[in-house]
Amino acid sequence: MATDPSWTSSDKREAARARLASNPFYVLGLRPDCARAEIEREGQKLIGMLELELSAAATYRSPIGEHRRTPELVREAMAELRDPNRRLLHELWATLEPAVPAPSSASADEDDEANLAPFPALRALGFGDWGRR
């Protein structure tokens, strides 16, 4: 699979951010080592809460911040995690803990780089030291 040469580093960064933000494990609020039954149970619970417009289910956290959760997003997440091959891919991307907002004196550029910090899955796959790129 070749990388599209027209993609800039900014495009690649945004694609990685989108992949992290929409990871099914983060959408469902579960860890990658959860059982299949937990996925179904949590997904159904979230869909019910969203249909009742409960604020507790309206957002979820990923390593890059907080995002809006919709019933469609929950259904897509459940479907992705039912396929063992797709689940494995998402497990690799879901190795970071969701971000917890903390006060910081760092500049916006430094915050952006910290949000894109490497995670163990990339190193395990042999992509090298992403901290220097």
Output the six-digit token pair for 26.
């983060």
Indicate whether 116 pLDDT > 70: no
Mean pLDDT across 97-126: 52
CATH code of 14-102, in short, is 1.10.287
Which among 121, 120, 116 is positioned nearest to 133, based on CA atoms?
Answer: 116
| CA-based end-to-end distance of the chain | 22
What percent of the chain is predicted at pLDDT more than 90?
49
3-state secondary structure of 66: strand
Q: How far apart are CA 128 and CA 124, in angstroms?
A: 9
Which pLDDT score is estimated for 105? 46
Rounded Cα gap, residues 35 and 26, in angstroms: 15
Amino acid code (one letter) for 20: L
Q: What is the pLDDT of residues 87-105, one digit of tens each?
A: 998 998 888 777 666 554 4
> Which residues make Cβ contacts (< 8 Å) with residue 119, sequence separation at least 6?
63, 93, 95, 96
Considering the entire predicted model, what is its pTM?
0.69
Q: Please give the backbone phi and psi of residue 65, each rounded to the nearest 5 degrees, phi first.
A: 135, -160
Lowest pLDDT segment from 5-14, 29-38, 80-89, 117-126 = 117-126
Tens digit of pLDDT for each residue in 47-87?
A: 999 999 999 999 999 988 899 999 999 999 999 999 999 99
Phi, psi of 68 (to 5 degrees): -80, 135
Q: How far apart are CA 29 and CA 59, in angstroms?
A: 10
